[in-house]
A and B are shown apart, each in its own frame.
Chain A
Amino acid sequence: MQISLNSKQVLTEEARGSRGVAVEVKDVSIAYGGRTVLEHLSLEIAAGEFVAIVGRSGCGKSTLLRSIAGLEVPQTGRITFGRAATSSGKPDVRVMFQDSRLLPWKRILPNVMLGLEPSLIPQAGRVLTQVGLADRAHDWPATLSGGQRQRVALARALVHDPNLLLLDEPLGSLDALTRIEMQELIEDVWRSRGFTALLVTHDVAEAITLADRVVLIEEGRVALDEVMHLPRPRTRGSARFAALEERILGRVLQRRSALRDPW
């Protein structure tokens, strides 16, 4: 109940989501070899909303993202999408992985063009310009830095003009400075294009910087679902940001401190 109320609030607050698609995860369970990863998890995401999922390693947050991407099939429950602004009405869902997963045998521009008609080269070129790598179009991926490779991966996802962009810890392996740059870039393209975004991250500050809503998953269930009312662009230095970060981080760490204390 709480969840759907919150997301509706966000939608009316800012009339976004011309490109985005709504997502409804209902009662989804996934288990691997007897170990439950997701347990009757439900989550609603409004069209155009930016939701960040945080949680400890192994809490099931990546599995949730992978099942929304269609890379895992849930044993119970279902995942449905709202009607998307595409010709078929089916949403265009793109994933950005933690490793860039560029094809090493294709130069940068052909990598961005993966699965596209050759007539869309100008479009791919524009997206490369948007991520600031137009001059590297004819280089091999092996010659790029980790941050540049992730920017190419972002361009590859954006060129399809997705309705839903799934980000599976895409900045996890980047250095701190590159990470801040990438966060700004992701926020910019999300604001200009209005797709729905779901970010899985272990970095609470990153989640607060980017997301409309931060969802904490613990042991396969939603343990916390909170709307971020901070104005954008958000600066980490502000007192409200710091207070939010401390509270959410404290909530993430709670379970461990409960374990430590036997009484």
Chain B
Amino acid sequence: MSQSQPNSAKQSQLRPRTIVREGLAWVVPIALLLAWQWASSAGVLSHRILPAPRDVLSAFVTLSASGELWTHVRVSTLRALSGFAVGGGLGLALGLLTGSLRWAETLLDTTLQMVRNIPPLALIPLVILWFGIDETAKLFLVSLGVFFPIYINTYHGIRSVDRGLLEMGKSYGLSGWPLYREIILPGALPSILVGVRFSLGFMWVILIVAETISARSGIGYMTMNAREFMQTDVMLVGVLMYALLGKLADLLAKGLERYWLRWNPAYQAAH
């Protein structure tokens, strides 16, 4: 009992401090927003260059009320996720293969490292030639973009699994799939999740470019369409949606890390 006393006192001391710290993070964005609103109202910023935050907000309300915004968001999210599933799945599978089997590494790794140095966006002309401006083109580009971060980190994760733990597992009679499930995969997981976070960021970047160049729906299309009509407020809504979705994806990845790596003191949620 006497031991828990200083502990709880410490916690109540910490709490206001964390609130202040969390609040501090929002000071700069809010100040920028206020300055922006003031500059627009005072006429310093032309509406054609940057509409006022209030106009952006009203554009957001109109677009979401009509359902148009959500249709585009849904289309873009679906593209991003299916590209992530295809590219990430392949990257994971090949990373596991080359990480675990020496002959697979010899056979594939050199080729993959060469292809890795080609920026996916450099392939856009070819991709348009191959797939037109269909869904396939966007799926291909996003998959290619997310493939490498996940492939490399999976490969590296498997290779850097603690030898001592592997030896211990083998001496406890584990081999094949049980050894994989109990030791190799969990040991590689921190590295794989780093790859997932990298590729989630990359996923949106590629999708934005792909949708901006050629699309008939999606946030990128909405933004490009708004440009035709000089609807700067709608363009900004599109840009902000990307920021929001990107942040959401990152939060999701962080959540996965906190759950799957909860055994690791470095990833434990700070209470």
Q: C-beta contact mask, A60-101 vs B, less than 8 Å → 1, else 0?
A: 000000000111000000000000000000000111010101
Minimal beta-carbon separation of B157 from chain A (angstroms):
13
Q: By the criterion of a CB under 8 Å from any partner CB, how many residues of chain A are at the interface? A: 20
Measured in the bound complex, the distance between the Cα atoms of B262 and A97 in whole Å is: 25
In contact, A114 and B265 (Cβ under 8 angstroms) = no
In contact, B173 and A115 (Cβ under 8 angstroms) = yes
In contact, A103 and B171 (Cβ under 8 angstroms) = no
In contact, A71 and B263 (Cβ under 8 angstroms) = no
Q: Inside 8 A of B173's CB, which chain A residues have their CB?
A: 115
Q: A104-B263, A140-B263 in contact; A115/B174 too (CB < 8 A)?
A: yes
Q: Does B183 contact A (CB under 8 A)?
A: yes
Q: Which of B34-42, B83-91, B161-169 contacts A (4 or more CB under 8 A)?
A: B161-169
Q: C-beta contact mask, A97-130 vs B, less than 8 Å → 1, else 0?
A: 1010101111100000011000000000000000
In contact, A105 and B263 (Cβ under 8 angstroms) = yes
Q: C-beta contact mask, B242-271 vs A, less than 8 Å → 1, else 0?
A: 000000000000000000011111000000
How many A-B residue contacts, CB cutoff 8 Å? 47
Q: A140-B263, A142-B265 in contact; A114/B167 too (CB < 8 A)?
A: no
In contact, A101 and B164 (Cβ under 8 angstroms) = yes
In contact, B182 and A71 (Cβ under 8 angstroms) = no
Q: Inside 8 A of B183's CB, which chain A residues have their CB?
A: 103
Q: Inside 8 A of B171's CB, which chain A residues have their CB?
A: 69-71, 93-95
Measured in the bound complex, the distance between the Cα atoms of B264 and A62 in whole Å is: 31
Measured in the bound complex, the distance between the Cα atoms of B171 and A103 in whole Å is: 14
In contact, A142 and B182 (Cβ under 8 angstroms) = no
* Residues 168 to 187 of chain B near chain A (Cβ within 8 Å): 168-169, 171-174, 178, 182-183, 186-187
Q: A140-B263, A142-B264 in contact; A97/B168 too (CB < 8 A)?
A: yes
Q: Inside 8 A of A140's CB, which chain B residues have their CB?
A: 262-263
Q: Inside 8 A of B174's CB, which chain A residues have their CB?
A: 114-115
In contact, B264 and A114 (Cβ under 8 angstroms) = no
Q: Inside 8 A of A93's CB, which chain B residues have their CB?
A: 171
Q: A69-B171, A104-B263 in contact; A114/B164 too (CB < 8 A)?
A: no
Measured in the bound complex, the distance between the Cα atoms of B186 and A94 in whole Å is: 23
Q: Inside 8 A of A142's CB, which chain B residues have their CB?
A: 263-265
Instruction: List 13 additional A-B contacts (Cβ < 8 Å) besides A105-B264, A106-B182, A142-B263.
Output: A69-B171, A71-B167, A93-B171, A95-B171, A97-B168, A99-B164, A101-B165, A101-B168, A107-B263, A114-B169, A114-B182, A115-B172, A142-B264
22 contacts between A and B (CB under 8 A): A71-B167, A71-B171, A93-B171, A94-B171, A97-B164, A101-B164, A101-B165, A101-B167, A101-B168, A103-B165, A104-B264, A105-B186, A105-B263, A106-B182, A106-B186, A106-B263, A107-B263, A114-B172, A114-B174, A141-B263, A142-B263, A142-B265
> Footprint of B on A, CB under 8 Å?
69-71, 93-95, 97, 99, 101, 103-107, 114-115, 140-142, 156
